[in-house]
Amino acid sequence: MSFCVADLERFKIYDVSLYEKKRMPIRTAVIYGSGIESAPETLDHGSVKYFTRAVYMGKYDGDEIYQDLLDKVSRIDRLDDIDQLNLIFLPLMKNSTGKSQRAIDAVEVARKVRDERQREFLIGSLIGITDKFIDEEYVRKLMEVLRMTRVAREIFNEGVAEGRVEGRVEGRLNNSRQVICDYLDARFGFDSMELQEKVKDLVNLDVLDKVPRRLFNADSLEKAQVIIEEAIKAQAKINHLQ
């Protein structure tokens, strides 16, 4: 089974699960980075047939789009839908620089977006898109860039402001868990859904507050899972001693 066919098999399962949850028609587009010019789009299992649409980012001039986006963020407050998609998928396009460097460039462009809500959405999306291919050297550079954003400040924050001000432990627990789940979703996407469910088991605030700082440095879903499982074990140990 080729890599692309294996992906389609996985997407098929995701789509079936999504349909069971939403009971709505699903249309799937599979994004392929530069270097891939053709890929299977269908699976035929007899009575079960699965159809997708392949989108080849190598057909897009990343250098030209990058310069256009740089110009726009200096002149306007918000990017339109097409510009947002172009920015999110910029590292996968045909570029004169490597994917890792273009990922850093894309995050730098996103940081210049004036609308805060859109800016954080774009940064979170870029984290999710680039995680699969960015080199270790560029992970460190990306982390340095992200430390200056609200996303990072929330991840590194040892408490949640709302919970502290109102003095409600439950508020802090809920907000802290939400920050962790939002990060997992942005970084690892659908694959992190099971791990996000485990995060809900974290109810000890002292244990929970230590998770984001460690999680932010996890470079794979497997390492993130180890961090969450260690937190759950630490919580169980504390409960046993009490």
Shared domain check, 178 and 216: yes
Provide the H-helix boundaries in the chain: 3-22, 62-75, 81-88, 99-111, 116-130, 136-146, 150-156, 161-166, 169-188, 193-199, 205-215, 221-241
Shared domain check, 124 and 182: no
Shared domain check, 171 and 120: no
Shared domain check, 123 and 82: yes
Residue that is last in its domain, among 32, 57, 82: 57
| Count of structural domains, the chain | 3
Contacts of 209 (CB under 8 A, 6+ apart): 158, 159, 176
31 sits in which H/E element: strand 29-32
Predicted confidence at residue 89, as pLDDT, reads 94
Among 152, 146, 171, 159, smallest CA distance to 206 is for 159
Shared domain check, 72 and 35: no
Predicted confidence at residue 61, as pLDDT, reads 97
Shared domain check, 84 and 22: no
Residue that is last in its domain, among 30, 57, 84: 57
Q: Which domain holds residue 84?
A: 60-149
Question: Token digits for 61?
Answer: 């001039």
pTM of the model: 0.59
The Cα 47–Cα 233 span in angstroms is 45
Shared domain check, 9 and 65: no
Positions of the chain with pLDDT lower than 50, given as ranges: 1, 155-156, 158-168
Residue that is last in its domain, among 149, 170, 188: 149
The Cα 47–Cα 57 span in angstroms is 32
Among 194, 200, 188, smallest CA distance to 232 is for 200
Shared domain check, 166 and 118: no
